Amino acid sequence: MPHSDRFILSRLPSPLGPMLGVSDAGGALVALDWEDHAPRLNHLLRLQHGSETSLSEGAAPEAVRRALADYFDGALTALDALPVATRGTPFQRQVWAALRQIPAGTTLSYGALALRIGRQAAVRAVGAANGANPVSIVVPCHRVIGSDASLTGYGGGIERKRWLLEHEGVLARATAA
């Protein structure tokens, strides 16, 4: 595992608070998380890229900025083609690839995701891999819910998960009485 990766760290606006994006020299997303979850982002970067990872502040690639803005403006498939450059175990990468196959506006349970990758007995491991996803929203871990349709954990917080699923039309928007 290389110990001298150099990445660009950028700040990106969102309706749910500022985000931090980490991209490689080719413009692929290495990590994307909420600014108030920076310690989690840094932890996942160290796990996947080693302790010598170098971050330089800079602008996010135009494709990333445009796709995120379009997604938050309602073009729900705008993130689908964004390149990501994640590392992790082969199992984690298999789970993350399967997450990218869950269309906007739909959800899947952890058990259904495990079945989809041919590892039906690995529900807990699927949950752990989902939780270690370094590229929030683009690798849509928010679309995975409990078998009883409950909004289970989300690295960005349950309220953000609820907002994202409402934005995608999965949940009815809460209305003030």
Asked whether 118 and 77 are in contact (CB, 8 A), the reply is no
Buried-state track 17-42, b at ≥16 Cβ within 10 A, e below 16: eebbbbbbeeebbbbbbbeebeebbb
Examine the residue annotation and report whether 141 is marked as an active-site residue of this protein. yes
Q: How far apart are CA 150 and CA 146, in angstroms?
A: 5
Q: What are phi and psi of 99, to 5 degrees?
A: -60, -40
Q: 18: which 2 tokens? A: 């500022």
Tokens 């690839």 appear where?
A: 97
Catalytic residue among 141, 144, 145, 164: 141
- Amino acid identity of 168? E
Return the active site residues. Answer: 141
